[in-house]
Structure 1
């Protein structure tokens, strides 16, 4: 049986004035994902209304690939750097059904 793709939107709320610094770390993660075959999409967005709100849009070959991407030392180091900047996060996990890019 073929595994389903995995998608997520994650809304990060940075501490006041820390949105740009958090976005830079997330952009580093996006750059790292360029070489990960199972990562099909990783886009970092910043809210036009609130520069301390950052959205990440992800599409992965499956849930296991997403989970594995968080296990390496490089990912762990980025997470450690990002955590002090994050006031909150709201992940939305999705099951893609189709469409352009999916």
Structure 2
């Protein structure tokens, strides 16, 4: 079964759109790295929170994707705009629409 990840991050006030742009700009190599789905969402109740949902072929591919040069560069650009408040949850994906 596939590996799923759901996480949230809090941006500094007024920086959410910039971080979303960084997250969505760096998606070109994800499919080749084993990503089946990558969704960036905006909290409806908090204007500084971003949710990211991902589905990967394996947990290892998710881990390895964070070592890609493009991912490291995107993280480096986004980190100064984040507060350091993160949530994360890994899971085994049983199935769903689009997978």
Number of positions where the alignment pairs a residue of Structure 1 with one of Structure 2: 98
Please identify which structure carries the higher helix content: 1
CA distance in 2, matches of 1:70, 1:37: 10
- Deviation (angstroms), 1:31: 4.2
Structure 2: which 5+ runs fail to align? none
Alignment of 1:85-100 (within 5 A): 85-87=81-83, 88-100=85-97
CA distance in 2, matches of 1:71, 1:95: 22
Q: Moved runs in structure 1, 4+ residues, more than 6 A?
A: none
CA distance in 1, matches of 2:94, 2:69: 32
- Deviation (angstroms), 1:36: 2.1
CA distance in 1, matches of 2:95, 2:38: 17
2:45 corresponding residue in structure 1: 49
Structure 1: which 5+ runs fail to align? none
TM-score, reference length from structure 1: 0.85
1:40 corresponding residue in structure 2: 36
Please identify which structure carries the higher strand content: 2
